[in-house]
Structure 1
Amino acid sequence: MNNRLENIARILITISFSGVCLSAFAQNSLSLSNEHINMFWTQQEDEWILNTFEGKTGKGNKPFGTACGEYAFIYAKDKPTSDFLPIIENGDTLDFPGSLFKYVADDFNRATSGVPMNKAGEYIKFYPAKGYQSGGSIVFEQQTPCGNYKAVWTLDKQYPSDILLNISLSVNKDGYYSLATPTVSTISEENLAWGVVPGFFQGNAIQQSFPLSYAYAQGLPKYPVLCRESTITTLSSIMTNKEGLTMAVIPEPGQDRDPYEKDENTHSKLWKVALSHMNNEAKLTPVAYHPVLGESGSFLKKGEIAEFSVRITLRHSDWYSVYKHAIYDVYKLKYSFELRENKRSLSERLLKLYDYVLDDKTALWHEEEYKGRKLIAQSYLGGVAGADKDAMKNSDIGAVWMLARLSQDKQFNEKRIPYIRNFKILQQSQNGFFKGAVEGQYYLAKSKRFTEEWGNHFEPVAVTYYTMADLGNILLFEPENEEIKGLLKNGAERLLEWQQENGGWQVAYDRTTHQPIYTDLKDYRPTFYGLMIAYQLFGDKKYLEAAQNGADWIIDNAVNNGYFVGVCGDARFVNDFATIQISCALFDLYEMTSDKKYLDAAIETAKIYTTSIYTHPVPNKEIKTIKGKEVEDWQLSQIGSNFEHGGSMGSAVPSGPILLASHCAYFLKLYKATGDELFCDLARLAALGKDAFVNEGTGVASYYWSQFDNGSGPFPHHAWWQIGWIYDYLVTEAEVRSNGKISFPRGFMTAKVGPHKALGFTPGKINGQKVNLILRKDFVETDNPNIDYITAQSASGDAIYVVFLNGQSKKNRFSYKINLSSIGNKAKMQKGQADMDGFGYKIIKIRK
């Protein structure tokens, strides 16, 4: 019947302009339509009902779901409290995450209070009584108990798959108000192909375990929760049905919170926009809210007006296409490149980090004797189980050995490497149930023992990280080290013994009872990667077969459903950068086997991981003050930065994203493989123009966005991660920009924090010439901090190469000096000047 009324309306009365049709029939029907979208309302008993919400497909127009058109807003006389609400799960009150996880408990409790649980205030719901055409728009109005409500619908001419919706409420009494977008169309769970609120959760089904969805992002929550803006990475709620139609609600820019207003960190303090995957009646549909009840801008006095502007997108495409539409077309990601510039190049920062990690005092190096050997590590002053300010840690072993090789620094090779190697050797358990595993990431100097960061457990993924990846990277530089080979073999066999028949592993074992714990979780992490390392170094096919078995299980259970967990024990394994390591491991497995299913899964996983990276708000040049210094808004922008873990209780809730951008080099590799510019753009935005977060004295970036330029603080080992990812990124930029004329082999992913890899253990090539990467102080100097460089020497020793990289999207001119005496050449200095196009490269070859 609805289609019949619509067809009659179209035939009898049609006003057409610019490819857009607005129709009215006998004053009781209205429609908006173009070549992409068709909407049709009818008036029934003084209420305007949306009868049709269709999108164009290859098989003609298809409905997204069940059209509705109900409007709603929330009213509360008094400000809602932030007290958490008891949640019943499996017939009992939910006790999550538990008292042990003190770092995340408060945030989860706040996320389960009245407003985010969508239980606060009174919902005022209605179908409007008044509807009419006004110019190129359809307008609906309703006199509600709280004031006059108005909604204006307009088809967007620039993006014809978008509908512009402006809603307003002129209130007639004081109180707190929140405008919700209308329930345009709902779908059943059976018709759900994918849903995502970026930064919070994603999946192809409703998850019946509330913690798994709301804390771990494993599927869509069964409740109509409101996602908090501080961890929404792209401001959109997106849903795809099984016909391939994707609907999204995308709030217009300028209504979202500013993470740093004027002279104050407002990242978590302000909450101006909320998103959900359900309406208040728990029906699946993208919904947005503004202002948020009880939050900034929600209290209105009589006569004041609340307003909200959003886009409703409907496309015959997957979620990722619509997601990129929000990022590029609505939130103008490319504009960030126009603002970015460096105060110090990444290459110069690497040399600053080089100085820092050699400084015994500032880098907090300590020597200890353990089991008759001297070991060395850096102080770790964060929370470690059983520590008495005596915890020590080494990180990014690949970067340590890489820097030693590239620099040929005598102090480094003689006073660091032997004793860090001892640390790794002594760290491994030699007997019993945990043979091949490490005793713990941390050494406690006072009690002379190794321990884990949190809890009394051990995770199989830690074998992959701290035995396989760390020792594997050492072996790339020391291929004849038989002691390290034996320890690596122990780890490989441990992974084999712990692997389950289905290919997966347990999340963790209790150290005392050896029984599995955290059994509410599954090991959706890159544990299988350790067996890939064993295969590459030992060549035994049993390791490759086991790795494929593990990868197949990950694809079927994790990737296909959007389910992941993380590796941060103090956050109860909330999904984190382990997700992008899964992608990288699958990509590497594809290169090992040529089986395309691993490439496809790697790409899909990486697409999901992009939702861990902030793309809003749109930056500008507004002057702000931080620590008494004036900076421009873009310098403090979160755009391009990934969170450690987000959602309802991750570290990003209070602290924002992190400055550790381990994924950058791998994203460039994905860009080269797929042509998807989002990977390339996000890599560059993460790497470049971040000086506001780098400590001037040490060159070490703060870990969390909220710490700005404090530097490493109690975590000096973070400098190694930064050396690792920055160098891998710069070399990868050279490789991608040169289209393979520059290429270097990679080691294994670093432990825990991401997919960056070590280089320098074997020669690479520049224009067909075999070369070795080198890193020397006082070697290269430029007058433009937006110009980076890498340096290499021919394997025959007869030539030096300097590869310059433009770190901006605009053309740059720069002068350079190459001090050949710093590498033992009799010639003193070579000078020059060059021009480079945006994100270009230039190779300087100097004959010795």
Structure 2
Amino acid sequence: MRKINIILYALFLLISVSCKKTDQLPVEIHNNQIEITSLEKVYSFTTEFTIIYTDSDPNIAARPGGIDNVSYNVITWETPNGMQGDLKEVKRNDSQGGDGFDDRILDATTKERTPIIYNAGENMVIKAQSLEQVGDTIHLTFPENEKFSLEAYVDVSAKPFPKLSYSFIPKIAGYFSIGYTGAPKLNIDETEEIWQPLIWQEKRFPEKPFMTLAYRTPIPTTLVHDGKNTIGVLAASEEFPFNPLPLLENSRFGVMLRNLNGEAQPQLFAPVLGGVESKMEAAQAYNFSSYLVVHPASITQTYEHIAYNIFGFDDYRKNEIASLNDVFENIVEYSMSQNAWYVDSLKGYAYSTDVPGAVKNVSSLNPLEISLVTDDKDMFDKRAYPIMEYIISREKFLFSLDPEQKIQQPSRKMYGPAAPLSELTTLYNTLGKKNDFLLQMAKDEVGKVKARNLDVKMSSDNWMSAMYLYKATGESKYIEKAKTLADEYINERINEKPVNFTDPLSEGAFFWTGLTPRWIQLLELYELTKDKKYLDAAQYGARHYTMFTWMSPQIPDKNITVNKDGKAPVYWYLASKGHTPMYYPEEQVPAWRLSEMGLTPESTGTSTGHRAIFMANYAPWMLRVGYYANDQLLKDVAKSAIIGRYRNFPGYHINTARTTAYEKFDYPYHKHKELSVNSFHYNHILPMASMLLDYLVTDAFVRSEGKINFPSEFIEGYAYLQNKFYGSEKGDFYDEKGVQLWMPKKLLAMDNLELNYITARKDDKMYIAFTNQSNKIVKTRVSLNSEYVDIENAQGKIWKDNVVDGEFSTSGSFDVEVSPNGITAVVIDGVHLKKGFQESILAHDEKIDNSYKVLDFGNTKAMIFNLGNYAKRAYIYLQDDDSKWSSVSLTYKNDKGAEKTIIDQDYPYEFTIPLENTGLEFMISGNDLDGKVSKSSWQVLGE
């Protein structure tokens, strides 16, 4: 198999054609074909069309594709005249339940159905008798057919590619599909890379001529790269309406890559047989236009070129409805409300949307980070610390007390840690490296193969684990192992392109992170080593990830009416569960506010129903890679995924119809059964807050050209929920070192929504960086909150777009000006800043010896969390469950020697004891199911 060195790939990106413009390529007629020449290579587009006809409704419908190692639904048709179908029967598994898994697809019959459009009706191949060029137009003349007539022409002056338009007139009534099947053909071995949305990427080639309908095409084409140029057949932007929201039911065309001979050949059919506009009456004309794509660049660059030049993608979003700081603070506040469905007794967020009665947490690091950065004691005590205990003790992220619950394979076992190795090292580092049991737990994970989420089993013996252990220990053996194994991974995964869905180190081909290289972790390794090959590999992965982000349909320059008659759209899945309609005022809003451009669907298996999800955790990473690699596409995708989309937690996804319901501040505060526009996964609330915080910090880093830089740890979570973790280490703010990120709620007040900001502190200095999200100059008055800032006649210094721009005096308010998409930073000297939780937990004292114990009785684990000067807490839990014990008691002695007893009558059996010193003497007793009492010996934990 052909290999491409990742360094050569990076050089190709640098020297190839700009995404913004290209010269018109030569187009000629030769041998009754249209020839396009690029980089001294000629590409022949024949005049072949394939017309597919059936006189009865083929009942188009999605079904499981039966593709090895990936859950993916494909479009299918009934076979004509009772012919035997060729669609595999797929057995549904327990993980395919809940939001996004459509019973109408997964449980439907596959009998007498085909996933190949050619097998769904009569095929009529037609080629032009002659071609004639008049000016810039090539006219195609076709012979007559008893069932239809066809006219077509090619506008060779169209930009950026020649434009093929046809007019089809049926002579009889029935269902028709008109396919352009004349694009160049290549054997798969002759290609450097291919792409058919959503899952066939790099060298993964469809096993059958599967079709992708319009609503699942990030750009409406398939692509083939032969090492020099990329070719495709692309639906024109006017053929892909913005409104209504693209769905299966309104998809006007479909694209394919594999032809009947097993070759890679871009094909486009419009309309889709049995789909919208396919049923035609005699003499009813049907018109359609597409582009003949030849572009002298890689597939990702061609994708970029099409996105910018045909579908109008650019830096198109601004805050408009709320600053990102307001959104962040609103989400944090919402996460602490009753509406967020945190279940105190189970230490987790309710997962009722998918698994009734279960709770699920992504990571303890999200609330821990938020509590540190926002100086929020309640967030730590009520969310971060309980979830730390959860993630240490539970076997999996999803916990259910119901032993019969099978949906998404929850666990009720206390066989932790569910935390991945990276979370254990981040906890260890964040808590001052004073809790040795966390590091030991991390080391113990190496070599284990565990399923933490769903049924995905992963090993922790890899270069990523070695990288995290290096950060925790500083031992050179770990970084050397990380680099050696990462180099092998790059050779195996990037230089050798995958041909199937079994990538090394993938968590499975379900979420998009499983279909692209580990580009996020490669970026982490680059930042650690500064070795550019890891940046090149990260850029490769990030650019391929952008091909899951929507770049079409084009956004019209007009307002769109939403919430017609005061009713928000109802998501069918929630309607089936008894959720009631929501009511929001009918309004007209700019189309760009409603656009999904820059967002992705959720996954392979749910992309038929989830148009776009708001959990765009990739965005801050793309912004950072884009800065390091000077890649504008990555930076624009990042901004488009985050900015100006909501005021509060917006739920999970865009689906059904255009609406502004999820923009509203009060949207998430409705009762669960009153939320019907989209689904709510309450365990996503805090990861979304971390995502936004990561974006705020990264945006300041990028716009300051790295001069505002706060060190980070890593939040792995599961699936795609990775972000950087801030707040545990001090950073740089231009020429000042040792600055602590510090962003308490409502620290600043401004009268312009287009400015985002981050704030920090050091001694008697306050640091603020303002980033303008609009393309206009912003001037605003800034007021500091006297609850946190005591200030009189302080002196300030200004940086404007990274240049010192003067000084000012302030007693609590000041004016600031920020250039379009620019940055202005200030340092205010001579302020008294309120001290609180952040300072105490980051004040690390000495380690506590003997802070972890394992007891035979009840398979008990006991530990002391050293939380700096803030607190010391003992956490003790039994792995034994209620099949052995009816209740469990813990008796301990306080600092005066008096005994206290805590009784836990409900599984899981766990105890948290605030300590007044650094030790605990305790004993455990249990009542078994027969009422017999057993006791452990007295134990000493700590010093």
Tell me, yes or no, whether TM beats 0.5: yes
The counterpart of 1:703, out of the listed 652, 655, 658, is 652
- 2:41 is aligned to 62
Residue 667 of structure 1 deviates from its aligned partner by 0.9
- Matching of residues 346-361 of structure 1 within 5 Å: 346-359=324-337, 361=338
Indicate whether 1:256 and 2:256 are aligned: no
Q: 1:89 to 1:596 in 2, by over 3 A?
A: closer
Which residue does the alignment assign to 1:772? 740
Q: Quote the residue 1:132 is aligned against.
A: 132
Say whether residues 1:187 and 2:136 are aligned partners. Answer: no
- Relative to 1, partners in 2 of residues 1:342 and 1:119: Cα closer, same or farther, differing over 3 Å? farther
Structure 2 equivalent of residue 156 of structure 1: 157
- 1:716 and 2:682 are equivalent in the alignment: yes
In 2, Cα distance between the equivalents of 1:705 and 1:135? 45
Q: Which structure's CA Rg is the greater one?
A: 2
Aligned residue in 2 for 1:680: 635
| Partner residue, 2:901 | none
Aligned: 1:836 with 2:792: no
Equivalent residue in structure 2 for 1:846, among 793, 810, 828 = 828
Match of 2:729 among 737, 751, 762: 762
One-letter amino acid of the structure 2 residue matched with residue 597 of structure 1: K
Task: Give the Cα–Cα distance (whole angstroms) in 2 for the partners of residues 734 and 366 of structure 1.
Answer: 36
- Give the equivalent residue in structure 1 for 2:891: none
Matches within 5 A, 1:276-355: 276-334=256-314, 336-337=316-317, 340-355=318-333
Equivalence for 1:533: 468
Instruction: State whether residues 70 and 183 of structure 1, in contact with CA within 8 Å, keep that contact through their aligned partners in structure 2.
Output: yes
Change (3 A) 1:118 1:705: farther
Amino acid at match of 1:496: G
> Which residue identity lines up with residue 231 of structure 1 in the other structure?
R
Greater shift after overlay, 272-281 or 341-350?
272-281
Q: Measure how far apart 1:144 and its partner are.
A: 2.2
Tell me what 2:218 maps to.
233
CA-CA distance at 1:527 after TM superposition = 6.3
Matched residue SS, 1:661:
coil
Q: CA deviation at 1:672?
A: 1.1
Percent identity over the alignment? 20
Distance in 2 (CA, whole Å) between partners of 1:320 and 1:767 is 35
Instruction: Say whether the 8 Å CA contact 2:690–2:723 is kept in structure 1.
Output: yes
Q: CA deviation at 1:685?
A: 0.6
Could you tell me whether the CA contact under 8 Å between 1:786 and 1:808 is conserved in 2? yes
The residue type equivalent to 2:742 in the other structure is I
2:755 to 787, 801, 811: 787
Aligned residue for 1:832, secondary structure, equals strand
Q: Matches of 1:147 and 1:426 in 2, distance apart?
A: 69
Contact 2:60 2:274 in 1 (8 A): no
CA distance in 2, matches of 1:303, 1:528: 64
**Aligned counterparts, 1:418-429, within 5 A:** 418-427=385-394
Query: Secondary structure of the equivalent of 2:237?
Result: coil
User: Secondary structure of 2:240's partner?
Assistant: coil
1:96 to 61, 81, 90: 90
How far residue 787 of structure 1 moved from its aligned partner, in angstroms, is: 1.5
1:84 and 1:334, CA in 2 relative to 1: closer, same or farther beyond 3 A?
A: closer
Retained in 1: the 8 A contact 2:87–2:115? no
- Deviation for aligned residue 1:478: 0.3
* Structure 2 equivalent of residue 71 of structure 1: 49
Q: Are the counterparts in 2 of residues 118 and 226 from structure 1 also a CA contact under 8 Å?
A: no
- Alpha-carbon distance between aligned partners in 1 of 2:339 and 2:140, rounded to the nearest angstrom: 65
Query: How far apart in 2 are the matches of 1:810 and 1:350?
Result: 23
Deviations 1:633-681 (A, max 9, x none): 32221111122214xxx32211211001111111111111111110010
Paired with 1:426 and 1:524, the residues of 2 have a C-alpha distance of: 19
Alpha-carbon spacing, 1:806–1:410, altered in 2? closer, same or farther (3 Å): same
Structure with higher helix content: 1
Deviations 1:480-513 (CA, angstroms, capped at 9, x unpaired): 342xx43443343433355xxxxxxxx96999xx
Residue 117 of structure 1 deviates from its aligned partner by 4.8
Deviations 1:516-553 (A, max 9, x none): x98xxx97999642332122112344544554455345
Q: Separation in 1 of the partners of 2:637 and 2:147?
A: 44
Q: Are 1:804 and 2:770 matched, yes or no? A: yes
Q: Which amino acid aligns with 2:755?
A: I
Do the aligned partners of residues 88 and 651 (structure 1) sit closer, same or farther apart at CA in structure 2, a change above 3 Å counting?
Answer: closer
Q: How does 1:606-617 map to 2 (within 5 A)?
A: 606-617=542-553
CA positional deviation for 1:327: 0.4
How far apart, in 2, do the equivalents of 1:793 and 1:418 lie? 25
The CA deviation at 1:595 is 4.3
What is the distance in 1 between the residues matched to 2:37 and 2:319?
A: 42
TM-score, structure 2 normalization: 0.70
User: What one-letter code is carried by the residue in structure 1 that aligns with 2:341?
Assistant: L
Tell me, in whole angstroms, the C-alpha distance in 1 between the residues paired with 2:360 and 2:266.
45
Q: Tell me which of 428, 433, 437 is aligned to 1:486.
A: 437
5 Å-filtered alignment, 1:218-617, equals 219-242=204-227, 244-258=228-242, 260-261=243-244, 267-334=247-314, 336-337=316-317, 340-359=318-337, 361-368=338-345, 376-384=347-355, 389-427=356-394, 439-445=395-401, 453-454=408-409, 466-482=419-435, 485-496=436-447, 528-548=463-483, 550-552=485-487, 554-559=489-494, 560-562=496-498, 573-578=509-514, 582-617=518-553
**3-state SS of 2:783 partner:** strand
1:457 & 1:418 partners in 2: Cα distance? Answer: 20
Q: Give the Cα separation in 2 of the matches to 1:116 and 1:624.
A: 38
CA distance in 2 between partners of 1:157 and 1:414 (Å): 62
2:421, 2:460 within 8 Å by CA — same for their partners in 1?
Answer: no
C-alpha distance in structure 2 between counterparts of 1:390 and 1:791, whole Å: 40
Contact between 1:194 and 1:319, CA under 8 Å: does it hold in 2?
yes
Which residue of structure 2 lines up, in the alignment, with residue 5 of structure 1?
none
Q: Are the equivalent residues in 1 in contact too, given 2:713–2:725 (CA < 8 A)?
A: yes
Instruction: State the alpha-carbon separation in 2 of the partners of residues 342 and 358 from structure 1.
Output: 26
Which runs of 5 or more structure 2 residues have no equivalent in the other structure?
1-22, 69-84, 569-584, 673-679, 794-809, 832-943
1:638 to 578, 581, 596: 596
Q: Return 526-535 or 300-309, whichever deviates more.
A: 526-535
Correspondence 1:80-95 to 2 at 5 A: 80-82=58-60, 94-95=88-89
* CA displacement at 1:89 relative to structure 2: 8.9
Which aligned pairs between 1:624-635 and structure 2 lie closer than 5 A? 624-626=561-563, 627=568, 628-632=585-589, 633-635=591-593
Q: Which moved more, 1:136-145 or 1:658-667?
A: 136-145
What are structure 1's unaligned runs of at least 5 residues?
Answer: 1-33, 43-48, 205-218, 369-374, 428-438, 499-506, 512-516
